[in-house]
Amino acid sequence: MKLKLPNPGLEDRILSHQQLDKVEEEEAGDRPKWDNKAQYMLTCVGFCVGLGNVWRFPYLCQSHGGGAFMIPFLILLVLEGIPLLHLEFAIGQRLRRGSLGVWATIHPYLTGIGVASMCVSLTISLYYNTIIAWILWYLFNSFQETLPWSQCPMNANLTGIISECERSSPVDYFWYRETLNTTPSIEEDGGLQWWMLLCHVCAWSFLYICIIRGIETTGKAVYVTSTLPYVVLTVFLIRGLTLKGSFNGVKFLFTPDLSELAKPTTWLDAGAQVFYSFSLAFGGLISFSSYNSVHNNCEQDAVIISIINGFTSVYAATVIYTIIGFRATERFDNCLSGNIVALLNAFELAESDITDSSYDQVVQRLNETYPDVIQGLDLKTCNLDTFLSEGVEGTGLAFIVFTEAITKMPISPLWAVLFFIMLFCLGLSSMFGNIEGIIVPLQDLKVFPKTWPKEATTAVTCLICCAVGLIFLQGSGNYWLSLFDTYGGSIPLLVVAFCEMVSVVYIYGIDRFNDDIKFMIGHKPNFFWQATWRVISPLIMLFILVFYIITKVSEKLLYKAWDPESEKFPTLVEKTYPVWIYVIIFVLAGIPCIAIPFIAVWKCVKDCCWYG
Amino acid sequence: MLGKIFFLLCLSSAWAEDLCSKAVPPEAYYVRLSIKTALGDKAYVWNDNEMFLFQATLAFAMRSQFSGQEYNVSNIVVCDETPRVSFWFVVTSLEDPSRLVSRGDVEQAVRKSRNRINSAFLLTDQTLEFIGITPTLAAPVAPNTPPWLIVFGVVMGAVFAGILVLLVLPLIQKKRKKNQPMEDEDSDEETQVKTAENGPERSGVYNMSFSDDDKFTQM
């Protein structure tokens, strides 16, 4: 028994199969088209593969039991990622509209889903490009023989190094002070940082030149931005494997801890990671797919892109952890030699008396004979696993941990340049999809006059986003960015994805959808697709959404601040948000979600009034 | 003459041994060498010859600081040598072997010739430590224009040039096309007559409102 909600007038709004064929044959549509299949695949891969694959997945993998995390990740990839991806590709290709157009076509009351998608794409574009600006800043600073984050600068009267840097580390100082110039709390805005403004303008100009004529220019840009990261990852893998201690890192990453599978948070994080990694519910994928020819094999595309995305996550995790293993081993060696030197100096022993291997025995022996002296020395505990599990994710991984590791490699500027070019390409190719998810709905909503050329509409969008993005360039910009990231890009997407599945399966009709796919690719979707689209995937989405809301609502709203005046410096201090932040959180997370029922009700009321 | 010199030497060495057995005087500087840390496999063994070199280098440092005063190896008294390769030393004054040169003077001499002392032993400020004499920090080299601004300028210039090209090129192409048809109009008229006879025109725009979608007309 198939549930289907009544949907009169659907036939009037969509092109029939014969009409689609005719349009295809005569090439009469005014819709842009991909030059070739490779452009389409590269654009989708670029959109899906982003910064999250490099700096979120390795952290999750290592903190949730290493190799064991692969199990929930792969299971949810198959049950949640691939079906949703196929759904978006198929509906875009069939209805040949952007995300807003698709939902409005299926039923006018569902326009809210498109609007919500657009809002989320807008929120994310705003702060994502600031991250690209940070990457550009580091990239520009990498063209120096001694990298600026490898040593502390001197203070004003040249008597010593700056105290903030001395108490923390050169990489921390460069990130928090010279890049962000961060304020101790979110209330103090600290003014605009001019160097960041320049990089911000550069990032938006770069994006503009790539999207200036829509997929005509984007399609050319992706040949570089989607392939270069793989080249750089391979180079880093080769370099990483030849460094000392890299195998420690890889072993640590993949050592399975099967007890983690019993915890629900592992499955929740795996599900969330699969979902966000595929860039679903942004509307960009629907748009990209709508530029394809009608008979393109979207099923095959969905499977291929999912496999590439999963493989890239694992590959990037391996590369990152070879470098982290190297850094941890280096730290461990330094810690140990520091202790050894302290012991040698205190007991006036010859240098060859204590080696790395005999360290433990010697310390034990000396502790028995001279316990007070050992106490007085205050030796640090050196544990390799502690250093390895200084698991960092996000900007901390890229701009602090990895940059530190790079300074210890020979020919550091080369590796820094390569690394930041890779991050730049990963970020930029994701931005193409985000911007597509904003511009196409705006065109569908007829916000821009029809007489304006494409170049003008993209210019206006980029200018407005650039202007609003100035929030993130202040001293407190980093705190605003993590606020937007945590609340703007999480819950609304889950809601939109759930609504998408329900709309296509139950309002558009799974029977009609199956027929469409049979028309497009030649065979009806098999049992796997039926089961996942109708039951399994919506249930998984619902579970993730509910658990996410529960965890987010129950936890206290805290943020981590860099405060040189605090006692725990250089550890980040946890502070509570001020009260007015709750309003902002509501705007970010609540408004897109509320837009869906609100617009439905509004349209219903409008229709009733029209007929009444 | 020889006898006198011999006597003085014996006296000074006896005096040196005497100095070592007493408590560490306030003018002494404590020195620590970490040869193995600095040189690894190429580390040399510390022996009396190396100690002699140290005394000679320090005498050289004193000479270069206080020109005219001819310090000798015998003026540098070294005591309490440990397996760590650490010891303390004092510099005896030229006029009176029982008096010691002040800490400040020794420090000045060492600072001035620190580089030479380090290179004599193939060590650095961190591996040849004079406890109490902090290494001088290197003055930072600050370029006039920060290098990142130069890279930024190059990239932005390229991006703006690209945007200009992409915006202006189609306008130029449109202008060229406008000029071309004016010349081709005459030659086109003859060919147009021919194609009209060859079958249905396919150059028009497909107008959807007139499609053969006859769902409204079915009875």
Q: What is the pLDDT of residues B166-175, one digit of tens each?
A: 989 888 998 9
CA–CA gap between residue B169 and residue A546 (Å, rounded) = 53
Mean pLDDT of chain A: 89
Q: Does B186 score more than 60 pLDDT?
A: no
Angle between helices A99-106 and A412-444 (to 10 degrees): 40
Token pair 């306030």 is at which residue?
B26
Q: What is the pLDDT confidence band of residue B205, given thresholds at 50, 70 and 90?
A: low
CA–CA gap between residue A373 and residue B67 (Å, rounded) = 45
Residue A103 burial (C-beta neighbours within 10 Å; 0-12, 13-18, 19+): buried
CA–CA gap between residue A36 and residue A292 (Å, rounded) = 9
CA–CA gap between residue A54 and residue A392 (Å, rounded) = 12
Q: Give the C-alpha distances (Å, rounded to integers) separating A521 from A85, A297, A308, A473.
A: 16, 5, 21, 48
What does residue B129 show for φ and ψ, rounded to 5 degrees? -95, 130
Strand, helix or coil for residue B30: strand
More confident residue, A218 or B186: A218
Which of A554, A572, A547 lies closest to A272, judged by CA?
Answer: A547
Which of A416, A257, A254 lies closest to A321, judged by CA?
Answer: A254
Which of B151, B158, B84 lies closest to A206, judged by CA?
Answer: B158
More confident residue, A96 or B136: A96
More confident residue, A439 or A7: A439
Tell me the shortest Cα–Cα distance from A350 to chain B, in angstroms: 4
The pTM of the full predicted model, rounded to 2 decimals, is 0.86
Residue B35 touches chain A, beta carbons under 8 Å? yes
- Percentage of chain B exceeding pLDDT 90: 12
Tokens of A81: 């990622």
Indicate if B99 and B47 belong to the same structural domain.
yes
Q: Does B210 score more than 60 pLDDT?
A: no
Q: Check A143 against B148: CB less than 8 A apart.
A: yes
Q: What is the pLDDT of residues A176-208, one digit of tens each?
A: 999 999 999 888 888 899 999 999 999 999 999
- Beta strand pairing call for B86-91 and B76-79: antiparallel
Please state, as a whole number, how many other Cβ atoms lie within 10 Å of the Cβ of residue A357. Answer: 7
Q: Which of B36, B144, B152, B154 to mutate to test the interface with A (most CBs of A within 10 A)?
A: B152
Indicate if B70 and B156 belong to the same structural domain.
no
Q: Which helix (H) or strand (E) holds A218?
A: helix A215-225
Q: What local confidence, expressed as pLDDT, does residue A67 receive? A: 85
Indicate if B103 and B163 belong to the same structural domain.
no
The mean-pLDDT minimum among A6-20, A208-222, A230-244, A430-444 falls in A6-20
Has A505 been labeled as part of a binding site?
A: no
Residue at B32 is within a domain: yes
Residues 446-485 in A contacting B (C-alpha not used; CB under 8 Å): 455
More confident residue, A431 or A393: A431
CB A505 within 8 A of CB A212: no
CATH code of the domain covering residue B27: 3.30.70
B133-171 burial string, b = 16+ CB within 10 Å, else e?
beeeeeeeeeeeeeebeebbeebbeebeebbeeebeeee
Residue B205 with chain A: CB contacts under 8 Å: 28
Has A49 been labeled as part of a binding site?
A: yes
Tell me the shortest Cα–Cα distance from A213 to chain B, in angstroms: 9
Indicate if B148 and B116 belong to the same structural domain.
no
Q: Which of A11, A153, A353 sits opposite B140 (nearest CB)?
A: A153
Residue B37 with chain A: CB contacts under 8 Å: 337, 341, 351
For residue A474, the cross-strand partners are A192
Q: What is the three-state SS of A428-473?
A: HHHHHHHHHHHHHHHHHCCCCCCCCCHHHHHHHHHHHHHHHHHHHH
Residue at B203 is within a domain: no
Strand, helix or coil for residue A387: helix
Indicate if B98 and B163 belong to the same structural domain.
no
Q: Which of B36, B139, B147 sits opposite A143 (nearest CB)?
A: B147
Residue at B1 is within a domain: no
Name every residue whose Cβ is closer than 8 Å to that of residue A508 and which is 6 or more positions away in sequence: A7, A10, A91, A106
Q: What local confidence, expressed as pLDDT, does residue B95 receive? A: 85
Residue at B215 is within a domain: no
The radius of gyration of chain B from alpha carbons, rounded to an integer in Å, stands at 45
Token pair 């990694």 is at which residue?
A277
Question: Which structural domain range is residue B94 located in?
Answer: 13-131
Q: What local confidence, expressed as pLDDT, does residue A554 receive? A: 81
Q: Does B198 score more than 60 pLDDT?
A: no
Has A309 been labeled as part of a binding site?
A: yes
A463-472 burial string, b = 16+ CB within 10 Å, else e?
eebbeebebb
- Percentage of chain A exceeding pLDDT 70: 99
What counts of helices (H) and strands (E) characterise chain B? 6, 4
Q: Check B148 against A141: CB less than 8 A apart.
A: yes
Q: Check A160 against B32: CB less than 8 A apart.
A: no
List the domain boundaries for chain A. Answer: 10-611
Q: Which of B34, B84, B211 sits opposite A349 (nearest CB)?
A: B84
Residue at B198 is within a domain: no
B123 Cα distance to chain centroid: 18
Q: What is the pLDDT of residues A245-299, one digit of tens each?
A: 999 999 988 888 889 888 888 888 899 899 889 999 999 999 999 999 899 999 9
Q: Does B192 score more than 70 pLDDT?
A: no
Q: What local confidence, expressed as pLDDT, does residue A2 receive? A: 65
Indicate if B161 and B56 belong to the same structural domain.
no
Q: What local confidence, expressed as pLDDT, does residue A571 receive? A: 82
The mean-pLDDT minimum among A325-329, A477-481, A507-511, B97-101 falls in B97-101
Q: Please, how many CA atoms are within 13 Å of residue A20, restricted to the half-sphere of its CB?
A: 19
Q: Does A570 score more than 80 pLDDT?
A: no
CA–CA gap between residue A384 and residue A379 (Å, rounded) = 16
Q: Which of A344, A354, A420, A462 to mutate to test the interface with B (most CBs of B within 10 A)?
A: A344
Domain termination residue (choose one: B131, B150, B166)? B131
Indicate if B124 and B25 belong to the same structural domain.
yes
Q: What local confidence, expressed as pLDDT, does residue B194 receive? A: 45
Count interface pairs A-B at CB distance under 8 A: 85
CB A401 within 8 A of CB A324: yes
CB B87 within 8 A of CB B29: no
Q: Check A351 against B85: CB less than 8 A apart.
A: yes
Has A334 been labeled as part of a binding site?
A: no
Indicate if B122 and B172 belong to the same structural domain.
no
What does residue A560 show for φ and ψ, rounded to 5 degrees? -100, 125
Q: What is the pLDDT confidence band of residue B100, given thresholds at 50, 70 and 90?
A: confident
CA–CA gap between residue A104 and residue A196 (Å, rounded) = 40
| Highest-scoring range by mean pLDDT, A124-133, A145-154, A481-490, B86-95 | A124-133
Q: What local confidence, expressed as pLDDT, does residue A13 receive? A: 80
Has A63 been labeled as part of a binding site?
A: no
CA–CA gap between residue A78 and residue B17 (Å, rounded) = 84
Total domains present in chain B: 2
What counts of helices (H) and strands (E) characterise chain A? 32, 2
Which of A354, A343, A280, A316 lies closest to A89, judged by CA?
Answer: A280
Q: Does A439 score more than 90 pLDDT?
A: yes
- Whether the link from the prior residue into A570 is cis, omega within 30° of 0, is yes
Q: Check A205 against B32: CB less than 8 A apart.
A: no
What does residue A51 show for φ and ψ, rounded to 5 degrees? -65, -30
Q: What is the pLDDT confidence band of residue B11, given thresholds at 50, 70 and 90?
A: low
Which of A540, A501, A516 lies closest to A103, judged by CA?
Answer: A501
More confident residue, B153 or B187: B153
The dotted CATH code for A10-611 is 1.20.1740.10
Q: Which of A137, A159, A205 to mutate to test the interface with B (most CBs of B within 10 A)?
A: A205
- Percentage of chain A exceeding pLDDT 90: 54
CB A497 within 8 A of CB A541: yes
Q: What local confidence, expressed as pLDDT, does residue A239 receive? A: 93
Indicate if B158 and B83 belong to the same structural domain.
no
CB B77 within 8 A of CB B70: no
Indicate if B100 and B149 belong to the same structural domain.
no
Q: Which helix (H) or strand (E) holds A423?
A: helix A412-444
For residue B87, the cross-strand partners are B31
| Highest-scoring range by mean pLDDT, A26-30, A319-323, B185-189 | A319-323
Closest-CA residue of chain A to B30: A345
Tokens of B16: 């040196």
Indicate if B25 and B117 belong to the same structural domain.
yes
Name every residue whose Cβ is closer than 8 Å to that of residue A495 and which is 6 or more positions away in sequence: A116, A545, A592, A593, A596
Indicate if B126 and B20 belong to the same structural domain.
yes
